[in-house]
Amino acid sequence: METLNICVATYKLFEGNGIDVSVIQFAEELARKHNVKVLAVDASDSIKSLDVQRVPANNPLKMRQIAADIDRQKFDVISTHYTPFDLVASLCRTPHFLHDPGVPPAITMRKPADAYLWSLVNTARLVSARKARVVLPISGYLANEFRKKYLYFGKTEILPYCIDFPDSMPEPARLPFEKYVLYVGRHTRYKGVHDLIDIFDDARKEIGDDVHLVTIGLGEPRYVEILKQKAASVGNVHILGFVQDIWPYYTGASVYATCSQWEGQDRPVIEAQYAGKPVVSYNNCSHPEVIVNGTLAKSRSEFKDALVRYLMTKPAGSGGSTEMVKRYAPEKMADSFTEIVKRAVDGNGA
């Protein structure tokens, strides 16, 4: 198989969500060499680079009909990234390759709606993994979690999500200060943004008032309101919400930091290292796999000390930029996926 007919299917495709952006960039890269159609329950109208079809796969009564339609289109492979298409693909004859971006632990689910979604996603993975040709976790950490959580003994291949890095870093964002800690990502409780604000406050007391904390990303309204109140109390904390172009903020940052309790891969950590910035995180989840330039803190005091050290030292060189491109460039993911598909479909190593 040289040119493949590939169906890429996921729940939604919108800006501001790490999984969605990764799937878009993966599909775009695949489309350079293969015929690619993208299926989603909902998607942004701004996605012009891909053939995106909206499909009501979240309606259980239509899943078999959608699966039959996928089979009629004679795809060589269906690549799924989230429920409900994991389940739809399990009903197809088309070879199914199930990407696993992970599901946060149940203890992070604070609302009934979140707990319901958690149960749906995990049930879909439990059922559909048995019928997938290969399960593709985005990190070694998730591969181990997948086997344990779903008692899965089938074929797995670790395939990290890709990042479309800029050819060169832009000028720093225009801010009324120079030295700042940066966090990028969803503002939800398990991401620990409230803890980061508190640790920043401790670090600032050692360094002085010429340091700031900038956070970027969408969030849960109630939690964001709590964060804004805490930010006003601490001072020098700037909660910017969604930002279209985050790269200038990476350029200007002194250090990137996250107190997240759970990450399947942590895309912003990779982006920050590409920008040459050291990263401070806790020594948890997938962080030991992705951090090559920074500190994996084992305690709150270690975290604070690392922030202080990086804020008082000018970043040296390009950090982990070369390694990030080597590991996570879109071409790398697309080519690796193609090789995995060929081995599995041809019966070699399946």
Give pLDDT, residue 141: 98
Helix 112-128 to helix 140-150 angle (10° resolution) is: 90
The answer to whether residue 317 scores a pLDDT higher than 60 is no
Q: How far is it, in rounded angstroms, from Cα 160 to Cα 327? A: 8
Cβ contacts of residue 39 below 8 Å, gap of 6+?
A: 7, 8, 9, 10, 52, 53, 55, 57, 70, 85
| Span 228-282, pLDDT tens digits | 999 999 999 999 999 999 999 999 999 999 999 999 999 999 999 999 999 999 9
Listed range (111-115, 134-138, 182-186, 235-239) with the worst mean pLDDT: 111-115
Amino acid 265: pLDDT: 96
At residue 288, does pLDDT exceed 70? yes
Tell me how far apart the alpha carbons of residues 257 and 3 are, in angstroms, rounded to a whole number: 42
Contact status, residue 286 vs residue 142, Cβ threshold 8 Å: yes
Q: Residue with structure tokens 């049930």? A: 123
Alpha helices (runs of H) in 156-314, residue ranges in sequence order: 193-207, 221-234, 247-252, 267-274, 287-290, 300-311
Confidence class of residue 350 from pLDDT cuts 50, 70 and 90?
very low
Residue 2: its pLDDT value, please? 84
Give the predicted TM-score (pTM) of the model: 0.93
Digit-coded pLDDT (tens) for 139-166 = 999 999 999 999 999 999 999 999 999 9
CA gap 75, 133 in Å, rounded? 14
SS3 82: coil
Relative to beta strand 255-257, strand 279-282 is parallel
Strand 96-100 and strand 134-137: pairing?
A: parallel
3-state secondary structure of 340: helix
Measure the CA–CA gap between 134 and 95, rounded to whole angstroms.
9
The pLDDT of residue 108 is 79
In the predicted model, is pLDDT for residue 204 greater than 80? yes
pLDDT at res. 124:
87
Please say whether the beta carbons of 101 and 81 come within 8 A. yes
Amino acid at 326: K
Mean pLDDT of 309-325: 81
Tokens of 111: 């609302």
Rounded Cα–Cα distance for residues 41 and 255 (Å) = 37
* pLDDT value, residue 106: 79
Q: How far apart are CA 66 and CA 71, in angstroms?
A: 9
pLDDT tens-place string over residues 7-59: 999 999 987 788 899 999 999 999 999 999 999 999 999 899 999 999 999 99
21-39 burial, b for 16+ CB within 10 Å, e for fewer? bbbbbbbbbbbeebebbbb
The pLDDT, as a whole number, for residue 270 is 97
Identify which of 161, 158, 83 has the alpha carbon closest to the alpha carbon of residue 128: 83
Q: Determine the 3-state secondary structure of 314 from DSSP.
A: coil
Inform me whether the pLDDT recorded for 79 exceeds 60.
yes
Kind and range of the H or E run holding 339: helix 330-345
Per-residue model confidence (pLDDT) at position 257? 98
Average pLDDT along the chain: 93
Length in residues, the chain: 350
Q: How far is it, in rounded angstroms, from Cα 264 to Cα 59?
A: 28
